[in-house]
A and B are shown apart, each in its own frame.
Chain A
Amino acid sequence: MSERWFLLKRNLAEFWRVFRRNRMGKIGAFLLATSVLMAIFAPALTPYEPTETIRDANGRGLTFAPPSEHGPLGTDDAGRDVWTQLAYGSRISLMVGFVAGFLSMAIGSLLGILAGYFGGWIDTLLMRVTDVLLVIPDIPLMLILVATFRRLEVGISPTVILIMVIGLLYWTSTARLIRSQVLSIKERQFVARARAIGAGHWHIIRKHIIPQVMPLIVANTVLIVSTAILTESGLSFLGLGDPTQPSWGTMLNFAFARNAISNSAWWFYLPPGLAIVWVTLGCVLLGNVLEEILNPRLTSHHLESEANMVARTSSRPAESGVSGK
């Protein structure tokens, strides 16, 4: 066990060394980290509540007020502070993005591993299903799915519905990616050897395939999360989000529906979009760098070496032939 820990630490140290030199990755990590911090510390970043109407000296609500000493990003049509909404909205946007991303990544990885490892009819079935899903236009499908679920009145919050629908439709690309990776791992020698000594399927999957595939899964997750965040903002903009839990997309829906454009209230419709771009760029830059570094084709790993697989005996032909120094 301690040898594994040592190897893990060494791999992480090597990873960190390469990562530090890569400027795009650092920028991406910075963008993502600041967004997560904003979501976690939202209440500390602003003195107002997101639903609180700011009033001026006469007690009237300050509607569509430009940035001023009351708030760095002004107010919306009901006098609520935009910066506050942005900070609290980051919680919803990021949460939906991450959870939906993880969900689709989990489904995709599981199906990809099963299809790649077992092959046969499981593989063919997966390929056909992904072929069909790839052709059907995604946003209209999501729209009618969300509309149906909401109408069912089962009492699920709209945010959860969004997470479910996005998570259930974005697994296809991950599944295909993981599947092809598993196909190539399956052919490597250590898998054949493990099978030869009688290792069961689950043992091989758990001990050999998953560690090989994990770096790719991690890198792919970040990219899937970025698409999930974009999609959530789009669906919320179309009105499918939860108005009581506004995300950045819902903020843009409000801005559009409540005439922020004709009122030239740029402080209302610009910041949420900028925030979305900020987070998405962060995820994409980080994901690209992760994929570069973690791509198994580029690095050698300890499972490829001959150590511990063949018993060392003194009767090896090579040793007897070599003249000692």
Chain B
Amino acid sequence: MNRRDYLIRKVLMAILTLAVVVTLDFFLFRVLPGDPVRAVIGRNVRIPKETQDALRAQFGLDKPVFPEQFFATLGQWAQGNLGVSWSLRQPVGEVLVAKLGNTLLLVTSGQVLSISLGVALGLFAGWKRKTAIDVSALTFSLITWAIPTFWLGIILLAAGSTWLGLPTGNVVEPGNIGKPFFEVLPDIVRHLILPTLTFTIVYLGEYMLIMRSSVLEVLSEDYILTAKAKGMTHWQVLRKHAMKNAMLPIVTLIALNLGFTVAGAIYIETVFSYDGLGKLFQTALDKQDYPLLQGAFLLLAVAVIIANMLADFLYTYLDPRVRQV
């Protein structure tokens, strides 16, 4: 199987997963009791039966669920119409787009930090195997794996706000909401410190472990011995040969972690009242706002699927050996 077939197979898998997600998302919420028409009008309003039936026809709810409603909804979703949120009384798509930026900001800074620190620490731990650095790094990874994300957030929130005067929540101070991004940038950064720190600590251990075992594997290869025999210093060997090859599994790990990153974002944003998609998801859950839940899940799942596929593409580009699978 060459590279093209491998990529085609990955795209087909992505499409299949997408189909599963969309079907699940649609039917799961159709299973629920409760009349969607009532939800739109409000529970305490009396309306005559003819109006109810007319509304039902307008929303297409009188047609059978499986094929007509299903494909009609899919069509709507493809056009970006994800319904109307009950609790916020706004179109779901608008709400999602508004909060997306905040979450991207948090997740990106957290991931960048944890990846760079994890790779650096993993490199050192693998190089200086069985020394104090290695053992303490391993212990750190073990302990951070056992710590629940949200609990770490609570501790950092309590410690940070009490001892360092850092803000206890939100993206910016209330007086700064709605102002242009670059004007309130220092405030945004201040509010990002604790959530990003939580994010970094949680995911750092994993990247470090993978990098470390990858480095150990690479450093036992023959060409490393050759490089050393040629007279290169340890640092030169690491930089020219070891690091590039050892980093390949990191790309896979980033792809695998995307799903878990979403989970982490939900917990961290809830603890820090950070106004992003994660907190939105949790609020929708709390208020049983099903259109919002449906739309948010769709967005999150689709994002992870596409990102996974892109990571697979990137991996085939980086690792020539995969093309001969």
Within 8 A of A (CB), among B27-48: 28-29, 31-34
Query: What are 25 of the A-B contact pairs (CB < 8 Å)?
Result: A132-B16, A135-B305, A135-B308, A136-B21, A136-B304, A137-B258, A137-B262, A138-B260, A139-B263, A140-B296, A140-B301, A141-B301, A143-B266, A143-B285, A145-B28, A151-B32, A152-B33, A233-B148, A238-B266, A239-B285, A240-B285, A252-B150, A261-B158, A281-B146, A284-B145
The contact of A266 among B158, B263, B270, by CB within 8 Å, is B158
Whether B154 is near chain A, meaning CB under 8 Å from some CB there, is: yes
With both chains docked as a complex, state the minimum distance between the C-beta of B148 and any C-beta of chain A, in angstroms.
Answer: 5
Given contacts A131-B13, A239-B286, contact A284 B142 (CB under 8 A): yes
Is A196 on the interface with B (CB-CB < 8 A)?
no
B242 nearest CB across to chain A (Å): 27
Which B-chain residue is minimally distant from A278 (CB atoms)? B146
Mask of B277-305 contacts with A, CB within 8 angstroms, 1/0 = 00001100110100001101100110011
Determine if B148 and A135 form an interchain contact, defined as CB atoms under 8 angstroms apart.
Answer: no
Given A132-B17, A137-B301, CB of A234 within 8 Å of CB of B150: yes
What is the CA–CA distance of A138 and B256 in the complex, to the nearest angstrom? 11
A273 touches B263 (CB 8 A): no
Q: In the assembly, what is the distance between CA of A256 and CA of B148, in Å?
A: 14
Interface check B121, CB cutoff 8 A = no
Show the binding face of B for A, using Cβ within 8 Å.
13-14, 16-17, 20-21, 25, 28-29, 31-34, 142-143, 145-151, 154-155, 157-158, 162, 168, 256, 258-260, 262-263, 266-267, 270-271, 281-282, 285-286, 288, 293-294, 296-297, 300-301, 304-305, 308
Instruction: Determine whether the beta carbon of B154 is less than 8 Å from that of A273.
Output: yes
Indicate if A311 sits at the interface (CB-CB under 8 A).
no
- What CA separation (Å) do A315 and B297 show in the bound complex? 73
Task: Report B-chain residues with C-beta under 8 Å of the C-beta of A106.
Answer: none
B285 surroundings in chain A (CB, below 8 A): 143, 147, 238-240
When chains A and B are docked, how far (Å) is the Cα of A233 from the Cα of B21? 25
B17 in complex: contacting residue of A136, A252, A262, CB < 8 Å: A136
Return the chain A residue nearest B153 by Cβ.
A256
State in angstroms the CA–CA spacing of A219 and B32 once bound together: 39
Q: Is A64 an interface residue (CB 8 A)?
A: no
Q: Which residues of B contact A145 (CB under 8 A)?
A: 28
Tell me which of A128, A140, A270 contacts B16 (CB under 8 A). Answer: A128
Cβ–Cβ contact A238 & B282, under 8 A: yes
Q: A238-B270, A240-B285, A261-B157 are in contact. List 15 more A-B contacts (CB 8 A).
A: A135-B259, A140-B262, A140-B281, A141-B297, A141-B301, A148-B31, A153-B33, A230-B146, A234-B148, A237-B148, A261-B154, A269-B158, A272-B151, A273-B154, A280-B145
CB pair B270 A273 closer than 8 Å: no
Measuring CB to CB, which residues of chain A are less than 8 angstroms from any residue of chain B? Answer: 128, 131-132, 134-141, 143-145, 147-148, 151-153, 226, 230, 233-234, 237-240, 249, 252, 255-256, 261-262, 264, 266, 269-270, 272-273, 276-277, 280-281, 284-285
Distance to closest chain B CB from A274 (angstroms) = 9
**Of all chain A residues, which has the CB nearest B303?**
A137
Specify which chain A residues have a CB less than 8 angstroms from the CB of B147 in the assembled complex: 273, 277
CA distance A141 to B288 in the complex (A): 15
Point out the residues of chain B lying under 8 angstroms from A240, CB to CB: 285
A272 to B146, CA, bound (A): 13
Selected contact of B288 from candidates A147, A153, A255, CB within 8 Å: A147
In the bound assembly, the distance between CA atoms of A141 and B262 in angstroms comes to 11
Q: Is the CB of B17 within 8 A of A135?
A: yes
Pick the residue among B142, B154, B162 that contacts A256 (CB under 8 A): B154
**Which B-chain residue is minimally distant from A269 (CB atoms)?**
B154
**A140, A145, A147: residue with the most chain B Cβ atoms closer than 10 Å:** A140
Chain A residues near B266 (CB-CB < 8 A): 139-140, 143, 238
Q: Which residues does chain B contribute within 8 Å of A141, judged by CB atoms? A: 297, 301
